[in-house]
Amino acid sequence: MSSPITQFDQLALSPPLLQRLQELGYEAPSPIQAATIPQLLDGHDLLGQAQTGTGKTAAFALPILQKLDLTERRPQALVLAPTRELAIQVAEAFQGYAHHLPGFHVLPIYGGQSMSNQLRQLKRGAHVVVGTPGRVMDHLRRESLALEGLRTLVLDEADEMLRMGFLEDVEWILEHTPPQRQIALFSATMPEPIRRVAHRHLRDPREVKIQTRTATVTSVRQRYWQVSGLHKLDALTRILEVEDVDAVLVFVRTKVAATELAERLEARGHACAALQGDMSQVLRERTIEQLKNNGLDIVVATDVAARGLDVPRISHVINYDIPYDTEAYIHRIGRTGRAGRPGNAILFVAPREMRMLRAIEKATRQPIEPMPLPTRQAIAAHRLAQFKQQILEVLASEDLDFFYGVVAQLEKEQEIGPHDIAAVLTYLIQRDRPLRVEETADPVDAASTRARSEPEGPAKPDKPRKRSRESADSDLVRYRLEVGHQHGATPQNIVGAIANEAGIESRYIGRIEIHDDYSTVDLPDGMPAEIFQHLRKVRVRQCMLNISRLDATEPERPRPAFRPPALTDKPARENRSKPAERKIRKDRSDPHQDS
């Protein structure tokens, strides 16, 4: 019986990959990585069942990178992902792991992105292509994506592709891959249609099933802020201003980020230091001792450097960078709420990282509540309250006889009242930390407002059954689509096409009615002209939508001041176009249609 794998260097990975994993703060393989990487390195097909947030991207990315021939600049691996957001995330992960592989190139391809740009990139060559099914099919038909050199194909989140209606597309792509290729299929659940695909296309696959470990962290209050990366530091500074903190542990992903953030916080007046892997053991122990003894209030750390850290006075853990997996998150927030004290965990989440947020909620079995960014007024009120409390504490604890004499002397010599003297002293004391708010435009406030108004996470056009006006924006317009029952269209097709190509979140898509040769759909008013023109060319069941407003004869109303963020801010997803050679189904049953 082989011994359990507890270190990455037990996985026969190359030195450049091991070096990068250490730099990224990876401590030990997650269960899915320990079980999967050896099988994929040995060339076996794989059927993996694991939830989001278990580290499965590294589980297939590392073996692919290990086996690449970097001198051969054509696609050697293809990863299919159900959404644009996931495709970008996976491509970024590949790029991050391949930091020490010179000349490596990964290319994400998805709908809503310039086709001409993708064509140029494919012509230049890429070792790994990560794409959504519809756009991969488009390139295969154009012969701009050549798969003759393909060695590995990964189907990521297969159950999500099934729910979005992409499974037929996936099978079509599988049929256009070389027969001698390795396939890894990952899915959180394993419904029968996915098992059938696996049995048809995978050769003697090894099966890996990971039971997600859950943890209840009841002593820690968990919150998140949906943050713009450009304003993270300002947001962190504000939070530190208004939270009742004792000591704070801030987590980042890299050693460089830890050092830079600690320096910037120190420049803003915080007693702060970095804790990262390049530090000597003596310096590490000195930093921890300072944190324990009130010599430091903030430590910025990487996961590896914070290993074994136990400081009871840590009142807050702030995840400045979201962790790579749920286990890392649980380890991080376990640093607060110790010795019977309440703890606080705050997570900064970019819009495209909302999937990981939901995975963390499932792992901790606790909801993570959204938090508003503290306003300037709240900061000023908090400073004023602290200032008043400081005055009361000094009055109760200090001998002020000498200072009473100074004030009395000033009153007599300058004929100034004590209120005037107190006001001047207050002004002098607060100049570096103003008690009054200046009413100025603030980009952080604007970013916070946008983040709170944006839909949470990627659109999921998989439940189009009941779409009422109450669930969408109040100002809806009805559009006609030139596709209907006789073309085999379903509400799911229509929702998928609109959500993927226009980036409109599914909750903003209203009532859908399908007729014999056309359909109607309610969408928010104020659709930008460029999105409208793009949707006219989108295909459902090989038919162009040719979308048009049913009230097109009426005068055009001005756009409302507020448009659903999904119309402009949400990234577009993939169009579910079908291959021309596929037979059109004539089933007119429509369980999703509103009565």
> What is the pLDDT, as a whole number, of residue 55?
81
Average pLDDT over residues 406-422: 84
**Of 154, 178, 209, which marks where a domain is finished?**
209
In a domain, 161, yes or no: yes
Whether the per-residue pLDDT at 529 is higher than 80: the answer is no
> What is the pLDDT, as a whole number, of residue 171?
93
Average pLDDT over residues 478-486: 89
- Return the bridge partners of 519, or none: 481, 514
Average pLDDT over residues 318-335: 87
Q: What is the pLDDT of residues 116-157, one digit of tens each?
A: 889 999 999 999 999 999 999 999 999 999 999 999 999 999
In a domain, 573, yes or no: no
Instruction: For residue 370, name the pLDDT band (cuts at 50, 70, 90).
Output: very high
60, 168: one domain: yes
56, 162: one domain: yes
> What is the pLDDT, as a whole number, of residue 587?
40
DSSP H helical segments within 109-254, as ranges? Answer: 115-124, 133-142, 158-163, 167-175, 192-201, 232-242
Whether the per-residue pLDDT at 558 is higher than 90: the answer is no
Q: Which of 72-81, 254-263, 531-540 has the highest mean pLDDT?
A: 72-81
> What is the pLDDT, as a whole number, of residue 63?
96
pTM of the model: 0.53
Best CA proximity match to 545, nearest among 500, 508, 581, 588: 500
Whether the per-residue pLDDT at 562 is higher than 70: the answer is no
In a domain, 405, yes or no: no
200, 225: one domain: no
The single-letter code of the amino acid at 369 is: E
To which residue do tokens 């026969």 refer?
A: 12
**Of 338, 356, 374, which marks where a domain is finished?**
374
Domain of 196, in residue numbers = 8-209
Whether the per-residue pLDDT at 338 is higher than 50: the answer is yes
DSSP H helical segments within 524-588, as ranges? Answer: 529-537
CATH of the domain at 519: 3.30.70.330
Q: What is the pLDDT of residues 4-43, one digit of tens each?
A: 787 888 888 999 999 998 887 676 888 889 999 999 999 9
308, 362: one domain: yes
66, 151: one domain: yes
Whether the per-residue pLDDT at 564 is higher than 50: the answer is no
539 or 120, higher pLDDT: 120
In a domain, 147, yes or no: yes
444 conformational bin, left if phi > 0, alpha if psi -120 to 50, beta if neither = alpha
Average pLDDT over residues 453-480: 48
Average pLDDT over residues 439-447: 45
Best CA proximity match to 203, nearest among 187, 180, 223, 225: 180
204, 227: one domain: no
Judged by average pLDDT, the poorest of 62-76, 266-280, 578-592 is 578-592
In a domain, 534, yes or no: yes
77, 225: one domain: no
In a domain, 49, yes or no: yes
Hey, is 519 helix, strand or coil? strand
In 17-151, the DSSP E strands lie at 46-49, 77-80, 106-109, 128-131
CA 15 to chain centre: 29
Pairing of strands 77-80, 152-155: parallel
CA distance 307 to 331: 9
Q: What is the pLDDT of residues 387-411, one digit of tens each?
A: 787 788 888 888 888 888 888 888 8
283, 241: one domain: yes
In a domain, 253, yes or no: yes
Whether the per-residue pLDDT at 584 is higher than 60: the answer is no
Copy the structure tokens of residue 63. Answer: 């073996």
Contact indicator for 500, 572 with CB cutoff of 8 Å: yes
Q: Average pLDDT of the chain?
A: 80
CA distance 172 to 166: 10
Angstrom distances, CA of residue 445 to CA of 79, 227, 439: 38, 11, 12
> What is the pLDDT, as a whole number, of residue 200?
92
CA distance 282 to 286: 6
DSSP output for 66-82: HH--TT--S--EEEE-S
116, 231: one domain: no
To which residue do tokens 């200072």 refer?
A: 403
**Of 148, 179, 209, which marks where a domain is finished?**
209
Angstrom distances, CA of residue 216 to CA of 54, 528, 582: 17, 45, 49
274, 362: one domain: yes
Contact indicator for 331, 303 with CB cutoff of 8 Å: yes
Angle subtended by helix axes 401-414 and 418-430, to nearest 10:
110
> What is the pLDDT, as a whole number, of residue 146?
93
Instruction: For residue 212, name the pLDDT band (cuts at 50, 70, 90).
Output: low
> What is the pLDDT, as a whole number, of residue 261?
93
Whether the per-residue pLDDT at 459 is higher than 60: the answer is no
Pairing of strands 128-131, 77-80: parallel
In a domain, 233, yes or no: yes
Instruction: For residue 251, name the pLDDT band (cuts at 50, 70, 90).
Output: very high
168, 228: one domain: no
Cα-atom radius of gyration of the chain, to the nearest Å? 29
CA distance 356 to 362: 10
Core vs surface per residue 116-147: b (16+ CB within 10 A) or e? eebeebbeeebbbbbbbbbbbbbbbeeebbeb
Average pLDDT over residues 82-104: 90
> What is the pLDDT, as a whole number, of residue 217?
67
Core vs surface per residue 246-276: b (16+ CB within 10 A) or e? ebbbbbbbbbebbbebbeebbeeebebbbbb
> What is the pLDDT, as a whole number, of residue 2?
61
368, 492: one domain: no
Whether the per-residue pLDDT at 510 is higher than 70: the answer is yes
What domain count does the chain have? 3
CATH of the domain at 49: 3.40.50.300
Average pLDDT over residues 257-270: 90
183 or 493, higher pLDDT: 183
